[in-house]
Amino acid sequence: MFDDTYQNTVELGSVAVFDNVECGKAQAMKVLEEAAEVFGAWQKLDKDTFSDSTDLIAELCDVIQACCNMAAAVGCDDLHLALWDCEDRNRKRGRITGMVDRGSQCTREKCKRFVFVPIEVRQKSSDSWEAIEHDSAMSPIGYCEQVIGQDMANVHNVTAGIMMCKHLVKRCKAMGGAE
C-alpha cells in the first residue's frame, strides 16, 4: 500500500539469462516482439476488475527476460545502478515523487557495475599511472577477470574489450581528478 513516506516498488530479484546471448538484431527485435505481446494481453484484460491479469504478467516477464538477455549480451550482469539512474531521470521529470528506504538494499558502492576508483577491490594501495599502464597491456578477458573480478565464461572477446576500455577510462579519470 502506498503512503506519503515510501514509493511503491515492484521487486524483480535476479533474472537468469539465456545461454549464448548475442547483441544482435534478432535479440533487439525480441524485446519489441515481447512488448507487442504485452499490448495484446492488455487489450484482452478486463479493465473494470483486472481480475485475471495472469497473461499480462506472463508477457511482462517475457519482456523483462528479453531485456536482461540483451543486457547480458553486452556484458552487464547488474542493472541496479542503471535502474537507479533511470529512477533519477524519472524523478527529475516528476513521474516519481515518493521516497524509497533502501537501507536493506544494495548500495551504489556495492553494485557490481559500480567501480570504486582509485582503490580496487583486490588492490592493497591506491591506483597509479604505472598500474594502469601495466594493466592496459593485459588481454581483455584477463583484465576483466583479474582487475574487474568479472567471470568471463561465455563472454565474447569484443564485449570484454569494451568492458576493459570503459574500466580503464574510469581509472584514468579518477587519477586525473575528473571523477
Lowest mean pLDDT among 45-54, 117-126, 157-166: 117-126
CATH number, domain with residue 67: 1.10.287
Predicted TM-score (pTM) above 0.75:
no
Residue 3 is assigned to a structural domain of this protein: yes
pLDDT (tens digit per residue) in 131-146: 888 889 999 999 988 8
DSSP 119: S
The full length of the chain comes to 179
Residue 83 is assigned to a structural domain of this protein: no
Residue 165 is assigned to a structural domain of this protein: yes
* Nearest residue to 127 via CA among 173, 91, 166, 67: 173
pLDDT for 109 beyond 70: no
Q: pLDDT-based confidence at 100, cuts 50/70/90?
A: low
Residue 11 is assigned to a structural domain of this protein: yes
Residue 96 is assigned to a structural domain of this protein: no
Pull the grid cell for residue 41.
494481453
Domain range for residue 64?
1-77
